[in-house]
């Protein structure tokens, strides 16, 4: 758990999608440390989600795991209804669920395109749509996890496009949901040391060294670096911040 032991989110209910590992898991734990009751969403890794829940409970927090595939509309509404029934109206939504597949231009296929857009973009919209209908009338915060990849890099045209869409959607929803007193912001990490980054071979090699050299703060990120930024955006301290794209990347933005 994080050493940050404040109660800035006491009494709040948070839903974090894709929270069974990596950045999502770190965000779920950090929100719980600050007092929120956390709905830990997962698609297939129940074991991973249960570990996150167990860690939160062991530290004295409150959390429950909820299964739903964000790209499947039929599974989203039941999840939202279960969250509200068991934890209460939603105050915080963190749209973290996402996938990435890299391919050069000649390797792009309709399947490659739709798989990523269905989860990273359509899934974000569908979950937000369902969650907002059950938000606390007093308002709250939506945090969309994007990526510095939105700036455009070789061999990630489709993935980068999904994250560019996240930035655009954030601006639109901030304007649309402002009347409901809901702040909407995008939080865009740089390279972060996660299970997925290790599995993809991004770490402990030349790619990591090149990224560190191009990062003003001289290191890659840790999940807690993103989690504490998300917790700030979820709190009343960020109550006048909305429609923003915020980079949590050690200064690396392009």
Tell me the pTM.
0.95
Amino acid 205: pLDDT: 78
Amino acid 7: pLDDT: 86
Task: State pLDDT tens for residues 114-167.
Answer: 999 999 999 999 999 999 999 999 999 999 999 999 998 899 999 999 999 999
In percent, the amount of the chain with pLDDT more than 70 equals 98
Q: What is the DSSP string of 201-246?
A: T-SSSHHHHHHHHHSTTSS-B-HHHHHHHHHHHHSGGGTT--S-EE
Distance separating alpha carbons of residues 239 and 19, to the nearest angstrom:
24
Reported as a pLDDT band with limits 50, 70 and 90, residue 199 is confident
CA angle 60, 62, 64 (to 5 degrees): 135
Sketch out the chain's domains with CATH numbers: 13-248 (3.40.50.720)
CA 238 to centroid of chain Cα atoms: 17
Asked about 159 being catalytic, the answer comes back as yes
Confidence check: pLDDT of 13 > 90: yes
Q: Which helix (H) or strand (E) holds 143?
A: strand 140-145
Amino acid 254: pLDDT: 62
Amino acid 5: pLDDT: 60
Cα end-to-end span (Å), the chain: 31
- Tokens of residue 116, six digits: 């990523």
Of how many residues is the chain composed?
254
Active-site choice (42, 100, 159, 247): 159
Confidence check: pLDDT of 247 > 90: yes
- At 50 the three-state DSSP class reads helix
Distance separating alpha carbons of residues 99 and 17, to the nearest angstrom:
12
Confidence check: pLDDT of 87 > 60: yes
Q: Which helix (H) or strand (E) holds 145?
A: strand 140-145
Amino acid 248: pLDDT: 96
């Amino acid at each position: 758990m994080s050493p940050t032991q404040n109660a800035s989110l006491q009494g709040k209910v948070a839903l974090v999608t894709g929270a069974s590992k990596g950045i999502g898991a770190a965000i779920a734990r950090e929100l719980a440390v600050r007092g929120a009751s956390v709905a830990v969403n997962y698609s297939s890794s129940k074991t991973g989600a249960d570990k996150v829940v167990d860690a939160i409970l062991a530290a004295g927090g409150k959390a429950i795991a909820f299964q739903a595939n964000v790209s499947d509309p039929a599974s989203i509404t039941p999840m939202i209804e279960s969250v509200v029934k068991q934890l209460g109206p939603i105050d915080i939504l963190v749209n973290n669920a996402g996938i990435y597949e890299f391919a050069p231009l000649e390797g792009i296929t309709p399947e490659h395109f739709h798989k990523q857009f269905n989860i990273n973009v359509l899934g974000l919209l569908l979950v937000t749509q369902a969650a907002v209908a059950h938000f606390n009338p007093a308002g709250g915060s939506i945090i969309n996890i994007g990526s510095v990849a939105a700036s455009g890099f070789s061999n990630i045209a489709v993935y980068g496009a999904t994250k560019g869409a996240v930035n655009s959607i954030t601006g639109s929803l901030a304007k649309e949901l402002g009347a409901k007193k809901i702040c909407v912001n995008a939080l865009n990490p740089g390279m972060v040391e996660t299970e997925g980054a290790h599995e993809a071979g991004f770490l402990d090699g030349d790619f990591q060294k090149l990224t560190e050299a191009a990062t003003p703060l001289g290191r890659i990120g840790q999940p807690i670096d993103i989690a504490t930024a998300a917790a700030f955006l979820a709190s009343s301290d960020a109550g006048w911040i909305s429609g923003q794209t915020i980079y949590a990347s050690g200064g690396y933005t392009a």
